[in-house]
Amino acid sequence: MRVKAFKAWRPAEGKAESVASVPYDVVDTKGAAALAAGNPDSFLHVVRAEIDLPEGTDAYSDAVYDQAKANIERFKNDGILIREEKPSIYLYSQQMGDHLQYGIVATCHFEDYEEGKIKIHEKTRRVKEEDRIKYVDIQNANTGPVFLAYRDSGKINAMVDAAKATEPLYKFTAVDGVAHTVWKFEDATELEAAFGEIPATYVADGHHRSASAAKVGAKRRAANPNHTGDEPYNYFLAVMFPESELKILAYNRVILALPGTKDEFFAALNEKFEVDANGVAVPRKAGEICMFIDGAWSTLTPKTMPGATDPVAALDVSILQNEVLAPILNIADPRESNDIDFIGGIKGTEELEKWVNDGRAVMAFSMYPTSMDQLFAVADAGMLMPPKSTWFEPKLRSGLLVNTLD
């Protein structure tokens, strides 16, 4: 793996808490506007720039990309963001309740993505990928990092422990209760060499960000007759976490409409699953799916389990998709269907009940979380999971460290 230090743009002293924002893709325009209200330093003015334009502005319009560019330039010119004098690598910790994880912030070479050394497990949507390509190209920057995982390394762990003993650049607790701390490594070359010994990293979250970064890099490579592979545009921003520290939550489903009657649905369901009306809302183990319908929870257990040799078919989300969503509910492609929505496990099963009880959905499915071993197995096999198979929490903050492509 080619990992490199970079000259970050980062919040000026005392500005980190007011600048750092949630990622662009976990909040809609209305939510972003509410979070940024009264705070001109919020990085949401960059990653969700439509909040500074007239209500109803298309989030994919040229005006939004231009506004984002103007806003990031304002952050630089007004000293909200300052630039490091020399390239560095950073340590970034997040603590949510009892869960604590330490990630290494650096840049990764886009050709490692092209060559499969940065492995993926989900398919991207073209419209979202094109949005991120245009956004990165116009900003000339990676404003939000790709979330990568790597297999544990004792050598890297030792460097992390040393960095933790130094004075942090930033330390604050966000409004959602997640604590964020950033340190700077004194010696980037040792980390670059250590990651050079790691054969692969895995995209945990940020498939559209990584795909778009690679395409922007390829576009600039093609336009440069003197391309060497060392230019700044070859590298994109990432935070890399050891697998043992990562926490995957369930990614649950709500069904908005039935193609037929409930009797027809239950008749088809009982052909493939043992249905136990036990009131359990959260699956107790892999191979169980909990369903909420008509005010009650039931546990579904497949009568026939798929073979373990197929890492995708063995996933609980695949079992639900292949045995319920597609054949019974006519949801062949969840990315394109208007009859399904997805709710991150961080919101709990109470949110699923609320959707059904309020009439926004007719039923909900509570899933057992995908494991890191399953993610690695699928990615190593060059296969893809169904959409919305993993929900990583806590989310990385945007604006703490920004990488420009110059």
Q: Tens place of pLDDT for every residue, the chain, 406 residues?
A: 999 999 999 999 999 999 999 999 999 999 999 999 999 999 999 999 999 999 999 999 999 999 999 999 999 999 999 999 999 999 999 999 999 999 999 999 999 999 999 999 998 988 999 999 999 999 999 999 999 999 999 999 999 999 999 999 999 999 999 999 999 999 999 999 999 999 999 999 999 999 999 999 999 999 999 999 999 999 999 999 999 999 899 999 999 999 999 999 999 999 999 999 999 999 999 999 999 999 999 999 999 987 667 999 999 999 999 999 999 999 999 988 999 999 999 999 999 999 999 999 999 999 999 999 999 999 999 999 998 999 999 999 999 999 999 8
* pLDDT value of residue 399: 98
Integer-rounded Cα Rg, in Å, for the chain is 22
pTM: 0.93
Q: Give me the phi and psi of 374, to 5 degrees please.
A: -65, -40
Helix, strand, coil abundance in the chain, percent, nearest 5: 35, 25, 40
Tokens encoding 178: 């997640």
Residue ranges per domain, the chain?
3-247+395-404, 251-368
For residue 296, the cross-strand partners are 293
Which residue, 34, 12, 8, is CA-closest to 21? Answer: 34
What is the structure's pLDDT at 230?
A: 96
pLDDT at 306: 79
Task: Count other C-beta atoms under 10 Å from residue 16's C-beta.
Answer: 22
Strands (E) in 88-159, as ranges, are 90-96, 99-109, 118-119, 141-142, 146-150
Task: Say how far apart CA 206 and CA 314 lie, in whole Å.
Answer: 24
Largest CA distance in the chain: 68
How many angstroms separate the CA atoms of 108 and 269, rounded? 46
CB 5 within 8 A of CB 87: yes
Two tokens, residue 183: 């340190």
- Spatial neighbors of 52 by CB under 8 A, at least 6 apart, are 45, 67, 71
**Token pair 């190209």 in the structure block, residue:** 137
In angstroms, the CA 132 to CA 140 distance is 12
Secondary-structure class of domain 251-368 per CATH: alpha beta
Contact predicate 29/23, CB 8 Å: no
Q: Can you give the pLDDT at residue 125?
A: 85
How far apart CA 172 and CA 189 sit, in angstroms, is 28
Nearest Cα neighbor of 148 from 198, 83, 104 is: 104
Residue 401's identity, in one-letter code, is L
CA 31 vs CA 26, 37, 240, 309: distances in Å: 9, 10, 28, 43
Q: Retrieve residue 287's tokens.
A: 């191979």
- Kindly give the pairing relationship between strand 340-344 and strand 251-255: antiparallel
Write out the H or E segment, with its range, that includes residue 83: strand 81-83
Q: Are 302 and 309 in contact (CB under 8 A)?
A: no
pLDDT at 335: 86
Please, what is the end-to-end C-alpha distance for the chain in angstroms? Answer: 22
> What is the SS3 assignment for 253?
strand
Q: What residue type is 171 in one-letter code?
A: K
